[in-house]
């Protein structure tokens, strides 16, 4: 078989007999990078317009050994950022945060900040679609969890409740997002199931 890069496939590259499930364990990309690739695909295919929000930074000190090699020596975040991504899908404003965890049994709420919860509540109050994409890296499983499913856990943790969202809850209340070749984190299908 000839591949797009011009190389010819060899029989030694074929998967062993009996192995039917593809192995994506060495994709070498973080969740955020996979979402960026997905968003680029969505934009090119006319599915959605979603972009990563830039983090506002105040540059304080720059070293200019020469103009082409300027190095930022000191910088500070101007303000706490809100969520990672926002845009438009099927005529609705969407806004979401992407998080990875190495935990297999729960998602620690220490990965989320109060200003992010406040922002997701504000988006939801204005009839926008707000959610979190959570990847359990050891399990190689990714879920879309609506922000409304997070709020009660967020409040309960301050009243002696658990400080994490159980994996079982996420699998029940969220939508599993399978890996796809072009749309690596094909979250649009999960949005369709939950909101349309």
CA 48 to chain centre: 15
User: Is 82 one of the annotated binding-site residues?
Assistant: yes
- What residues have CB less than 8 Å from 92, skipping those under 6 apart? 127, 128, 129, 195
User: Is 84 one of the annotated binding-site residues?
Assistant: yes
- Measure the CA dihedral 51/53/54/55, to 10°: -160
User: Is 116 one of the annotated binding-site residues?
Assistant: yes
Letter string b/e over residues 153-184, b meaning 16 or more CB atoms within 10 A of that residue's CB: bbeeeeeeeeebbebeebeeebbebeeeeebb
- Contact yes or no for 120/95 (Cβ under 8 A): yes
How many residues are given for the chain? 196
- Contact yes or no for 194/175 (Cβ under 8 A): yes
Rounded Cα–Cα distance for residues 55 and 192 (Å): 29
Tell me the binding residues: 82, 84, 97, 116
Which segments are annotated as binding site for Mg(2+)? Answer: 82, 84, 97, 116
């Amino acid at each position: 078989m000839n591949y797009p890069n011009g190389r010819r496939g060899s029989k030694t590259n074929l998967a062993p007999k009996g192995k039917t499930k593809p192995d994506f364990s060495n994709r070498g990309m973080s969740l955020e990078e996979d979402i960026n690739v997905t968003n680029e695909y969505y934009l090119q295919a006319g599915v959605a317009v979603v972009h990563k929000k830039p983090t506002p930074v105040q540059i304080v000190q720059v070293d200019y050994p020469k103009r082409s090699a300027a190095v930022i020596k000191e910088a500070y975040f101007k303000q706490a950022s809100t969520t990672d991504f926002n845009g438009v899908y099927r005529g609705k404003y969407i806004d979401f945060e992407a998080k990875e965890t190495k935990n297999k049994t729960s998602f620690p709420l220490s990965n989320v900040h109060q200003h992010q919860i406040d922002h997701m509540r504000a988006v939801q109050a204005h009839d926008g679609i707000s959610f979190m994409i959570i990847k359990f890296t050891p399990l190689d499983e990714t879920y879309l969890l609506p922000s409304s499913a997070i709020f009660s856990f967020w409040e309960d943790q301050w009243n002696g409740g658990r400080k994490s969202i159980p994996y079982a809850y996420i699998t029940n209340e969220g939508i599993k997002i399978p890996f796809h070749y072009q749309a690596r984190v094909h979250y649009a299908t999960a949005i369709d199931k939950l909101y349309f």
